[in-house]
A = this chain, B = another copy of it.
Amino acid sequence: MEKVKFSTLATNYKVVFLDSYGVLKNHAGLIDGVSETLEFLRGQGIVTKVLTNDASRSRQQQVDLFKRLGLNGLTVNDIITSGTLARLFLEDKKITGKIGYLGTVNAANYILHIDRDSVPISEIDLEDCDDISAFVFLDDEGFDWNVDINKTINLLRMKNIPVVVANSDKLYPVSPRDVAVGTGGIAKLVENILNRKFIHFGKPDSQMFMFAYNQILKEGDFSKHEILMVGDTLTTDILGGNKFGLDTALVLTGNTIESSVDTLVAATGILPDYICRSIMD
């Protein structure tokens, strides 16, 4: 596919949705020029929102982290995370009792801070767990994989409770060379062992896009045709954006690299409307 210039493309839209990792930042920090690009978009009157599969931090912590990396001007309402959706689900379903989780205490505070107790899998007593009424896969850190994944499996064999996956990414990059298993990958292992399907949140699911769309409707009157979804991953950003009815642009600064983009598009059948080298192009 032909590449188009992002700066020219973006000005055809009133709203731009941006993935975070691989578009705005990478393992080394903010990608060069991102600050200027976002300022350019704002200068053109274009509304921007960040849509990220992440449940390790609150939206405020995301804003603070972007600031530390040198990207100012984002507010809590500009960042939509899969963790936010998981939290809303737990609120909507009015789950009472304790919520078990796999992940860090920080993530638990953010997702589960509502007026109820949360308890890490390491502290759950399998002999006395009647009060656990839901379970959440929050993060790939904060626990001992050897012990706590098995303990999670045994808890969920005993108790048929709602199970939520707050970030469905199976893997994520940690360096130019290496990846790591993500929350979604661990959840998939457990689903596979138990032969059950959990409730997953995050792109490509429509709910992330719906939440972001509802957010911008509070700020103005926009149709879907006026929104461009920008991401580095075909199976999450582009598939999800396409399905929600948005125009989509794939950038080559993250998971998808220039030499394999045509092969990947052909193999998956997921077609971005546009391909741009980066949002700085």
Give residues in A with beta carbon < 8 Å to B.
Answer: 88-89, 92-94, 126, 144-146, 149-150, 153-154, 156-158, 160-163, 170-171, 177-181, 185, 188-189, 192-199, 205-207, 210, 224-225, 239, 242-246, 263, 265-271
**Contact: A197 with B145, CB < 8 Å?**
no
**Contact: A206 with B197, CB < 8 Å?**
no
B177, B197, B269: the one contacting A270 at CB < 8 Å is B197
* Chain B residue with the shortest CB-CB distance to A140: B146
Contacts A192-B170, A192-B185: A89 and B269 contacting too (C-beta < 8 A)? no
**Contact: A162 with B197, CB < 8 Å?**
no
CA distance A178 to B126 in the complex (A): 10
CB proximity of A155 to chain B, nearest CB, Å: 10
A sample of 12 cross-chain residue pairs with beta-carbon separation below 8 angstroms, ordered by A number, consists of: A92-B225, A126-B178, A150-B180, A153-B179, A154-B179, A158-B177, A160-B266, A163-B269, A188-B189, A189-B189, A199-B243, A207-B244
Interface pairs A-B: 5 shortest CB-CB: A92-B245, A145-B145, A196-B269, A189-B189, A145-B146
* Chain B residue with the shortest CB-CB distance to A162: B271
Contacts A162-B242, A245-B92: A181 and B153 contacting too (C-beta < 8 A)? yes
B146, B161, B179, B239: the one contacting A157 at CB < 8 Å is B179
**Contact: A265 with B89, CB < 8 Å?**
no
CB proximity of A211 to chain B, nearest CB, Å: 10
Chain B neighbourhood of A170, CB < 8 A: 192-193
* Chain B residue with the shortest CB-CB distance to A127: B177
Chain B neighbourhood of A185, CB < 8 A: 189, 192-193
**Contact: B206 with A177, CB < 8 Å?**
no
**Contact: A206 with B198, CB < 8 Å?**
no
